[in-house]
Structure 1
Amino acid sequence: MTSFFLTPTRKISSNVFGDLIDSICIYSYHFDKPMLIDLDGRPEGVFELVFQKESDIWQSSVIGDDWQLRDQAFIAGLHQSSYKLRIFPDTKIISVRFKPGGFKYFNPEKQDNFSNKRICISEIWGLKGKKLIERISNEEDENTKISIIINFLHENYNGERKSIIDNLVRVIIKNDGIVDLKKLADSCNLSVTHLRKVFREEIGLSPKKFSKIIKVNSILKKVVYAKEKRDLMNLAHSFHYYDQSHFIKDFKEIVGYKPTEYCDLVRKSGY
Structure 2
Amino acid sequence: MRKSDKYGMMPVQPYLILGTDQYQTIVEQGDGISHFYHFVLEEKPQNEMTAVPDGSVDLLFGIGENDIRTFIGGTVLSAKRWEFEEGRKYFGVCFQPGGCHLPAALSIGDLVNNDLEIDGNLFGTNLLEKLAEAKDLESRSTIFLQEYRRARTEQFPNHIGTLEQYMRMRIYEEKGNISIKALAEETGYSECYIRRIFRQAHGISPKNFERFVRFQNVLHIMNHASNRLHLDELAQECGYFDEPHMMKDFKSFAGVTPQSYNKMIEGTKLRAAGTDAVSQAI
Cα distance 1:242–1:29, how it changes in 2: closer, same or farther (>3 A)?
same
Whole-angstrom distance in 2 between the partners of 1:204 and 1:124: 23
Q: Matched residues, percent identical?
A: 22
How many equivalent pairs are there? Answer: 241
Name the residue aligned to 1:66.
none
Whole-angstrom distance in 2 between the partners of 1:100 and 1:177: 14
Name the residue aligned to 1:107.
103
Name the residue aligned to 2:25.
11
Give yes or no for the alignment of 1:78 onto 2:72. Answer: no
Name the residue aligned to 1:22.
34
The Cα offsets for residues 74-130 of structure 1, whole Å up to 9 and x where unpaired, read as 221122122334556543211111111111x343554223211212232993xx779
Moved more, 197-206 or 20-29: 20-29
The TM-score normalised by the length of structure 1 is: 0.76
1:46 is matched with which residue: 46, 51, 56?
56
Deviation at 1:173, TM superposition (A): 2.0
Whole-angstrom distance in 2 between the partners of 1:10 and 1:235: 28
Asked whether the equivalents of residues 51 and 80 of structure 2 are also in contact (C-alpha less than 8 Å), the reply is yes
Asked whether the equivalents of residues 51 and 81 of structure 2 are also in contact (C-alpha less than 8 Å), the reply is yes
Whole-angstrom distance in 1 between the partners of 2:111 and 2:75: 7
Which runs of structure 2 are paired with 1:1-271 in the superposition (5 Å)? 5-7=15-17, 9-14=23-28, 18-30=30-42, 35-37=43-45, 38-54=48-64, 72-87=69-84, 90-103=87-100, 105-108=101-104, 110-122=107-119, 125=122, 131-136=126-131, 138-142=132-136, 143-159=138-154, 161=156, 162=158, 163=161, 164-223=163-222, 225=225, 227=228, 231-267=230-266, 269=268, 271=270
Cα distance 1:85–1:116, how it changes in 2: closer, same or farther (>3 A)?
closer
Cα distance 1:49–1:130, how it changes in 2: closer, same or farther (>3 A)?
same
Structure 2 unaligned segments of length 5 or more: list them: 1-13, 271-282
Asked whether the equivalents of residues 124 and 150 of structure 2 are also in contact (C-alpha less than 8 Å), the reply is no
Whole-angstrom distance in 2 between the partners of 1:235 and 1:245: 12
Structure 1 unaligned segments of length 5 or more: list them: 56-70
Deviation at 1:214, TM superposition (A): 0.9
The TM-score normalised by the length of structure 2 is: 0.73
How large is the Cα RMSD of the aligned pairs? 3.0
Cα distance 1:268–1:83, how it changes in 2: closer, same or farther (>3 A)?
farther
List structure 1 segments (4+ residues) > 6 angstroms apart after TM superposition.
none
